[in-house]
Amino acid sequence: MHYKKYVTFGLATIAGLGACATLALAQQQAPPLMVKQLKDNVYWTQGGAGGNTGIIIGQNGVIVIDAKTTPDSAKEMLAEIAKITPKPVTHVILTHSDLDHVNGLAAFPQGITIIAHENNKKEQEKALAAGGRGAPPADRLPTQVVAKNKESMKIQGVNFTLLHWAPAHTSGDLVVYLPNEKIVFTGDIIATIRPDPLIHLEKNGTAEGWIQTTKGMVGLNAETYVPGHGDLQTKADIQKRLKDAEERVAKVKQLVAQGKSLEDVRKAFGEPEPAAPVPGRGPVFPTFTETTYKEFTAKKT
């Protein structure tokens, strides 16, 4: 019981520190916001404060995927949308609850429909109850939740399929698939600015769920994958990341079964000790090796 209490406290502390560090990172000089076209009605953005975003122009309104970190960055994105179309933003779909994808909602118009996985909403409510860091204002919480593993819907005349296979990056991941356009918005399940998957244990993400989810994304009839951070990916790119992750997870699982320590496991992969955080430089997240090790040792215990 004491062990569980200390682990819970530790994860909560990590979550709080991560939120602080991510916010500090967002407040640094962000790269310029760039809007790029994928299809006649589909755009995506890189740069600005926060993750990549999607912009889909519907019949009478615009659907945005993820909302940036800060209100200022969100306002910049909304201004770019206004250059593309006079149609208003009517919907936002959130891929997960990390603040660099949701906090910009504070700048979005009131009354819009905000769609998220049910666990995403729970994570935001938890952040608000803890003081509000890592969550948008209470009046910008999700207004429509996805509780199923797969939900297809037509929004502003555009076909969407929203998918959740398992807890992966977080417990509330939502993959956004445009079947007609063959485009997938992955959220941070894929983030090419990191060589390996990032798993938030404090949000109940799992390596095994990441593998299951990524296999699901590979199985979609898609040609373009828009990651949560970084450059566009092809199906072959996703398959390569999946293969590498599967091999690492299998090896970590084997070493845990042998009773190896985290230090032993790091050495087996030639992985150095984690660097200490540098103030103002953003978060230093645990590596995929470390979170996978902790996941399997917890199961073993």
pLDDT of residue 16: 42
Nearest to 266 by CA among 290, 292, 299: 290
Contact between 172 and 72 (Cβ < 8 Å)? no
Coil/strand/helix, residue 139: helix
pLDDT of residue 135: 83
Query: 248-260 pLDDT, tens per residue?
Result: 999 999 999 999 9
**Percent helix, percent strand, percent coil in the chain, to nearest 5:** 40, 20, 40
Strand order in the sheet with 224-229: 150-155, 158-163, 175-178, 183-191, 224-229
Please count the other Cβ atoms lying within 10 Å of the Cβ belonging to residue 237.
15
Residue type for 35, please?
A: V
Coil/strand/helix, residue 114: strand
pLDDT of residue 282: 65
Nearest to 108 by CA among 83, 75, 76, 80: 75
Residues 6+ apart with CB under 8 A from 154: 160
pLDDT of residue 8: 37
Query: 14-70 pLDDT, tens per residue?
Result: 344 344 434 444 445 789 999 999 999 999 999 999 999 999 999 999 999 999 999
Residue count (the chain): 301
Which domains does the chain possess?
30-251 (3.60.15.10)
Sites in the chain below the pLDDT cut of 50 = 1-27
pLDDT of residue 273: 82
